[in-house]
Structures are given as C-alpha cells and as structure tokens.
C-alpha cells in the first residue's frame, strides 16, 4: 500500500507540473530546433548566482531536455496535453516551480486538516460530516473509463463503516485551489467559482473507478457522494465568501476555506 501511494504521489506531481506549465505565463524559448539547440542549458554552466548543484537548476536542465525531445518528435508528450510548447526561460521556470510548490504545500495542509478531522466528534467537523469511520487518502488515482489515463484527486475520503455488509460506499472528493479573489468584483468571483466547481465535478464527480492498489475500494466503480472545493482562505475576502458558497452549492459542490 505504501509503495502504491508513493508511486501515485510521484505521478500526481508530474501531472500537476505538466498541466500548470502548459498555462504558465512568462517568456519561452524558440520552438525552432536549431535556435533551441544553441540555448541548451548545462549542469556545469548554471546562470550567474545559481550553484551547479541547485536542485531547481538540475530540474530545469532535465525539463529542458525532455521538452526538446518532445519538440523534436523523439519523445511522446502526455496524451492529456494537445500542444507541446517550447521550454520556459530559466527565470520564469523558477517562478513557475515556486508557485507549484506553494500549491503542493497548500494541498498537504488540507490533507492534514482532513486527517485531523477523522478524530473529532461529528459536531466539530467541517469536511467529513456524516462519516463515522473516515479514511483520507491524497493524490489517489481515479478513472472515469477504462484506460491508462488517470485523474489524481487531491484528497478522497471514504467512510469505511459504509463498506460493511456490502453497503453503498460513502465517498467524498476534494479539489484544492489557491485562486486569488482579492481584486475581483463579485461578478468575476462568481464566474471563477462556477468554473472551478464545474471542473471539480467533471474531474472527480459521478461514477469513478479507484485505481490505487491496497485501497479498500481498489478496482471498484463507485458513485461519488459529494464533491468539495477548498480555497486558500488568505486569498478570499470576507465580502465575497457568502456569494462563493452560494454559487458553489447551487452547482452541487460544497465550498470550504482552509488556512493553516
């Protein structure tokens, strides 16, 4: 079980990086292979002020080489991405990776909050109401149809008590977002929470197959009982919180605000 979880954690991070990089802002190098070849980075020649063994620079060189091979056609890119973009410039890659790491840290914080809640009485719970014996897993692989493409849910909670005697599983899926609402109008805020709620339902709602070996629902197709959307409370002003909750609930999604 631990090995399967570790493999899925790594795969989930790779998917997160690819999806975030595809929409990342910042300068990119040329898609012309001859011009790109002249910009090939080297582990032995990092930019000024960057140590040769800096883990982020090591990551960048590997990222650049992978992207070059994909553009050259010698490596196949992920099926979920239709376009292969040229690599980001180093400074913008460093910013992008820092942003992704912030998202990973937030996701881990939400997971810890969920796991803490499994020990609380029902009256004190926020996320796991109605579950008498909740189990929480992070970055768990799901599929909506047969095939190799997985969706990795940020957190999945199942009430193990609901599995007794062949009962219908109670399954909740959680989508974590660090969307910044601080400068949005109420109209824009409603627009974005609507988009996030629809995305969460599409990715994590309906009937899904649990694909993590060792999980009590491994290999089973189950109906998701509830989809949750968890925002970083630091980026959600008090003035729009009621509106966001109402908009999400109108689409069948429970909205929460998390802060460490």
Q: What is the pLDDT of residue 82?
A: 61
Q: Sorting pLDDT into bands at 50, 70 and 90, what band is 50?
A: very high
Domain ranges of the chain: 2-100, 103-258
Q: What is the DSSP letter of 176?
A: E
Strands (E) in the chain, as ranges, are 134-143, 151-159, 171-177, 207-210, 221-223, 226-232, 253-258
**Is pLDDT at 79 greater than 60 in this prediction?**
no
**Is pLDDT at 98 greater than 90 in this prediction?**
yes
> Residue 35 has which token pair?
């011009």
Q: Sorting pLDDT into bands at 50, 70 and 90, what band is 150?
A: confident
**Is pLDDT at 259 greater than 70 in this prediction?**
yes
**Is pLDDT at 218 greater than 80 in this prediction?**
yes
Fold of 103-258: Trna Endonuclease; Chain: A, domain 1 (3.40.1350)
**Is pLDDT at 84 greater than 80 in this prediction?**
yes
Q: What is the pLDDT of residue 80?
A: 54
Asked if 36 contacts 42 with a C-beta cutoff of 8 angstroms, the reply is no
Among the residue ranges 9-13, 48-52, 62-66, the one predicted with the least confidence is 9-13
**Is pLDDT at 149 greater than 80 in this prediction?**
no
d(CA 196, CA 200): 6
């Amino acid at each position: 079980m631990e090995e399967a979880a570790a493999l899925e954690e790594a795969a989930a991070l790779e998917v997160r990086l690819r999806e975030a990089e595809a929409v990342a802002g910042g300068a990119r190098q040329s898609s012309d292979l001859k011009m790109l070849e002249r910009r090939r980075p080297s582990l032995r020649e990092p930019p000024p002020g960057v140590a040769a063994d800096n883990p982020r620079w090591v990551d960048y060189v590997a990222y650049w080489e992978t992207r070059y091979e994909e553009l050259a056609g010698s490596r196949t890119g992920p099926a979920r991405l239709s376009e292969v973009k040229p690599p980001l410039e180093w400074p913008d890659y460093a910013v992008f990776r820092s942003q992704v790491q912030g998202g990973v840290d937030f996701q881990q914080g939400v997971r810890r909050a969920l796991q803490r809640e499994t020990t609380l009485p029902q009256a004190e719970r926020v996320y796991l109401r109605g579950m008498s014996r909740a189990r929480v897993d992070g970055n768990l692989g799901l599929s909506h149809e047969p095939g190799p493409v997985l969706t990795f849910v940020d957190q999945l909670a199942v009430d193990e008590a609901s599995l007794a005697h062949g009962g219908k599983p109670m399954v909740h899926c959680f989508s974590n977002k660090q969307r910044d609402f601080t400068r949005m109008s109420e109209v824009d805020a409603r627009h974005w929470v609507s988009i996030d709620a629809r995305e969460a339902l599409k990715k994590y709602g309906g009937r899904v197959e649990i694909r993590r070996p060792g999980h009590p629902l491994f290999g089973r197709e189950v109906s998701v009982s509830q989809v949750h959307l968890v925002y970083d409370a630091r980026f959600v002003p008090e003035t729009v919180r009621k509106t966001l909750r109402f908009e999400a609930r109108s689409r069948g999604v429970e909205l929460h605000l998390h802060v460490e």
